[in-house]
Amino acid sequence: MYKEKIVQKAYHTISEVAKKTKIAQTTIRFWESEFHWFCPKRGRKNQRLYNIKELNKLNCIIILTTSGVTLEGVKAAHKDKYLVKLTGFF
């Protein structure tokens, strides 16, 4: 009996992340420029590579912005140490 192994990648490209989150690549790049604490590593060809920590940050940004929180509100949430500790995001 063949069992398919689920391989969890260490890094994901911006196109993979955009496809999974249904967020445009341009939006993700914009958020990178707005939030200094959200910055993926870069590959050999300067390609963005997102690890689990960056994906968690992105998920938090998505949750907040889709809930109607402004960019300034997301920045304020990042500075709120209690919220950071409570959620584990950022």
28-55 pLDDT, tens per residue? Answer: 999 999 999 999 999 999 999 999 999 9
Cα–Cα distance for residue pair 60/71, rounded to 1 Å = 12
Q: Cβ atoms within 10 A of the Cβ of 50, count? A: 23
For residues 43 and 49, the answer to whether their CB atoms sit within 8 Å is: yes
| Structural domain containing residue 16 | 12-87
**H or E element at residue 89:** none
The reply to whether 7 falls in a domain is no
Query: 5 in a domain, yes or no?
Result: no
Residue 53 domain flag = yes
Judge whether 80 lies within some domain.
Answer: yes
Mean pLDDT of 43-69: 93
Asked, for residue 25, whether it belongs to a domain, the answer is yes
Question: Which pLDDT score, from 0 to 100, does residue 82 have?
Answer: 63
Domain count, the chain: 1
- How many residues can be counted in the chain? 90
CATH number, domain containing residue 73: 1.10.1660.10
Inside any domain, residue 1: no
Q: What is the distance between the alpha carbons of residues 49 and 17, in angstroms, rounded to a whole number?
A: 9
pLDDT confidence band for 78 (50 / 70 / 90): confident
